[in-house]
């Protein structure tokens, strides 16, 4: 799907049926067209291990489940603001 349309942001669960969220994150961050797309990882697993791994692979923010709508909206706003700032600085 990302090859046809580049989104403004991706919310990505760590645990998915066919491929892990970390694998998808790696593909997003190593593909030229999507490498600057902010990615928020979401997990219900042990947050310490997942959070570190996600950030090491390029996640922009991390949310642990269960989460509130307020937490989710805060994370989305933060990730989008950071992405806009990077674009302004020419990264």
Query: Which CATH number covers residue 46?
Result: 3.40.50.2300
Look up residue 65 and give its DSSP letter: S
Residue 5 lies in a domain: no
Residue 89 lies in a domain: no
**91 residues of the chain, pLDDT tens digit each:** 777 889 999 999 988 889 999 999 999 999 999 999 999 998 886 667 777 888 899 999 988 888 999 999 999 999 999 888 877 776 5
The token duo for 47 is 């947050």
pTM reported for the whole predicted model: 0.85
Residue 1 lies in a domain: no
Q: Rounded to an integer, what distance in angstroms lies between the CA atom of residue 39 and that of residue 31?
A: 13
Phi, psi of 34 (to 5 degrees): -115, 0
Domain residues for 73? 10-84
Residue 20 lies in a domain: yes
Residue 66 lies in a domain: yes
Number of compact structural domains in the chain: 1
């Amino acid at each position: 799907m990302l090859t046809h349309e580049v989104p403004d942001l991706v919310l990505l669960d760590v645990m998915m049926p066919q491929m892990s969220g970390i694998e998808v994150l790696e593909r997003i961050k190593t593909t030229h067209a999507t490498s600057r797309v902010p990615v928020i990882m979401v997990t219900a697993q042990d947050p310490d291990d997942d959070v570190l791994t996600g950030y090491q692979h390029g996640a922009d923010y991390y949310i642990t489940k269960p989460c509130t709508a307020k937490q989710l909206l805060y994370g989305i706003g933060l990730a989008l603001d950071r992405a806009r700032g990077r674009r302004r600085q020419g990264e």
